[in-house]
Structure 1
Amino acid sequence: LPLAALRLAGSGRGPAGRRGRTSSPAAGAIDSRPAPEGGDDLALVASLRARLLGERGLREHVRAGREGALLCLVVDASGSMGARRRLARVKGALVELLRDAYARRDRVAVVAFRDGDAHVLVTPGAPIERAAAALRDLATGGRTPLAAGLDAATLLVRREAVREQHRRSVAVVLTDGRVADTDGAVRAAAARLGRTAAAVHVVDTEEGRVRLGLAGALAAAAGGDLHPLLEPAPTLRRAA
């Protein structure tokens, strides 16, 4: 299965052991920067030095540590995804992506949408066992509320960005894109997600001889990359 072999190169801290900048107080300080109001990791020496140089305000530590990305998986669980073989492929691929993401210390969230609604199946930071179980037990059926799923992912990414400003976000949307978009709601939601996440990847799950190619339009609206589920695809790469 091609998707199962995909690796989100660059989505987190890169190769195992590579260090990136983080605000975690458990990491070693390597620099300082202006501190936000209410900051609790003040760099006292740097603040005093800045004051002597005539600068106003306090400074906080910049620390080096191992910090991954936020990987938000957005999964179409509507009736069009209900074919047993296709669903098994999608679930297997997602579990492989989960394992790779956790190995990179990425924080993973899963948003599923089906039957007119979207909800967060897995919140960021949940154990891999819980995330894998949620994907294995994912039920399908009903309509395809694609716009709602995209907006739920956008809200989640925005909320996490407030909590962890230095963590990059990558959204991976798995769908066949088969939904009427007469009012442009899906395109608008895709554009919002594209503006919010550092990168968007759309995995086209469409099968059969007759393919509508709607997932491609979704990827274009989000300014992201398109990857077919059942054909060889390049390694997913997060935009710099």
Structure 2
Amino acid sequence: MDILRRNNVKVIGSPGRQVVVLAHGFGCDQNMWRLVAPALAGEFHVVLFDYVGSGGSDPSAWSDQRYMSLDGYARDVIEVCEALDLEDVAFVGHSVSSMIGVRAAAVAPERFSSLAMVGPSPRYIDDDTYRGGFSAEDIDELLESIESNYLGWSAAMAPVIMGNPDRPELGEELAHSFCAADPAMARVFARTTFLSDSRGDLKSVTVPTLVLECAQDAIAPREVGAHVHAAIPGSRLVTLDATGHCPQLSAPEATTSAIRTFLRELR
């Protein structure tokens, strides 16, 4: 199988420079990085891709069994790196892709040199001593809504996830991204995302790590960022003066600056 076609891989920037792989979250595709990728490409070798089931990926490669676990998405990441023969990769993951990156780096540590997590959440459901931002009942209702009316859920939830009600075009863009996904595949990805618990994986992270959060985020509250930061020794926590779960769209300059500063300091 042609992995580059399967995952709609695109490469921009100059070969020979630090490789930066940008990975999107649930319901999105690589276009979510459209305001960040060109800015990074002036200094780095930037790789964009779509997970199978998202964006311009090959839908014939979809497998319910593979993608009902975050490990299946991590395999996508590793196989893209193998197809391009990438090493020393700085992996930048948005939302659930942060935890996908953690798993990919654990399986193929020779490929990855650093992680940057944008709005990460290792678990969305509250636990006894952990606040993920949602009760079990909240997630059950969310998944039921996605199962019964994915397009309706997308239209209703996109503005909430994006935040920034004074900029409705951002919520509309996210809703369009959600609605462009195949509903059956999106339902699997949703269950994989919102029912996952990757807290135990954080201790496996040994590479330099940036935890990038927004000051206000309905999906990944600041308690989550603090948990991830505390669980990964030596990680750096940066709080953007931004609202919502998608700062690469709502605050692209600040997001780019934080990622660029982190990578420069690793040289």
TM-score (norm 2): 0.36
Q: Which has the higher contact order (CA 8 A, sep 6+)?
A: 1
Between structures 1 and 2, the one with greater strand share: 1
Between structures 1 and 2, the one with greater helix share: 2
TM-score (norm 1): 0.40
